[in-house]
Amino acid sequence: MQIDYYSNTQDGHPHVVKDGHPHVVKDCRPHVSTRWPPRDGLQGKAVVDEQAYREGKLGTARPAGEGTSELINKEKLSQGRLFTRSFEDGLGFEYVMFYNDAEKRIVCVFQGGPHLQGMPGFFHGGAIATMIDATVGMNAIVSGGIVMTANLNINFKRPIPLCSIVLINSQLDKIEGRKLLVSCNVQSVDEKILYTEATSLFVKLNPEKEFDIKELVLKSAPPA
């Protein structure tokens, strides 16, 4: 068995496991300790300035002493959790993903809980969008490495009943340089109802940049 992206599967981090054919992507438990951004076990180029992160400087808009407020303080950052793993068991996002490496696609079996309600009795559109982003995002990550969502287009065709089980079928369509185009649909388990369709664009973070995530945080800081 080969473990990608995260070498430590005991620490509560999400991780990707390649396990023969089809490859299986498992998002590990317990979700309550899942943290983002990842700090341990990330293979390859670090995207976070570890020292700055530990010292709580990562989210500082400007160097201390210039009278600027902290964007994100160390304590709050340390409480970070993967959004889809931030609910109590059964109340939020319950899912497992199966990755087929040969076909570059993921099937996600998703059962949302009652805290994802929008219109009474149906899922909130944002919850559906989150699960779509997580699935196409994982497809892009396992296909291309560290990426961020640049564009996500969703057509909601039918409301999805709360607590029902659905399939999210995701497919890598094209890679153009740093851009990965991934499409997906959401269907009932018997594949008779098409609930949602989506297309997405993911961009691989620029390898020329030294601190990608840090730079993004700093760029996003509101004016002092």
Ligand X SMILES: CCCCCCCCCCCCCCCC(=O)SCCNC(=O)CCNC(=O)[C@H](O)C(C)(C)COP(=O)(O)OP(=O)(O)OC[C@H]1O[C@@H](n2cnc3c(N)ncnc32)[C@H](O)[C@@H]1OP(=O)(O)O
Active site residues: 133
Detail the DSSP E strand segments found in the chain. Answer: 2-4, 16-18, 24-25, 93-100, 105-112, 147-156, 165-176, 179-188, 194-204
Regarding 48 and contact with ligand X (CB under 6 A), the answer is: no
**Rounded to an integer, what distance in angstroms lies between the CA atom of residue 62 and that of residue 82?**
27
Least separation, in Å, of the C-beta of 87 and ligand X?
16
Regarding 148 and contact with ligand X (CB under 6 A), the answer is: yes
Regarding 5 and contact with ligand X (CB under 6 A), the answer is: yes
Question: Do 119 and 70 contact (CB within 8 A), yes or no?
Answer: no
- Find the binder of ligand X among 189, 206, 207, 210 (CB under 6 A): 206
Name residue 93's beta-bridge partners.
112
- What is the phi-psi region of residue 24: left when phi exceeds 0, alpha when psi lies from -120 to 50, beta otherwise? beta
- Find the binder of ligand X among 25, 134, 160, 186 (CB under 6 A): 134
**Rounded to an integer, what distance in angstroms lies between the CA atom of residue 140 and that of residue 154?**
17
Give SS3 for 149. strand
- Interior angle at CA 185, CA 109 and CA 213, nearest 5: 80
Toward ligand X, which CB reaches closer, 101 or 191?
A: 101
- Find the binder of ligand X among 12, 92, 112, 137 (CB under 6 A): 137
From 96, 83, 75, 70, select the one nearest 35 (Cα to Cα): 83
- Find the binder of ligand X among 177, 190, 192, 223 (CB under 6 A): 177
Regarding 71 and contact with ligand X (CB under 6 A), the answer is: no
H or E segment at 131? helix 125-144
Toward ligand X, which CB reaches closer, 142 or 166?
A: 142
- Find the binder of ligand X among 17, 25, 28, 82 (CB under 6 A): 82
Residue nearest to ligand X (CB): 137
Least separation, in Å, of the C-beta of 193 and ligand X?
25
Regarding 167 and contact with ligand X (CB under 6 A), the answer is: no
Toward ligand X, which CB reaches closer, 26 or 161?
A: 26
Contacts to ligand X by CB under 6 A: 5, 14, 82, 133-134, 137-138, 141, 146, 148-151, 177-179, 201, 203, 206, 216
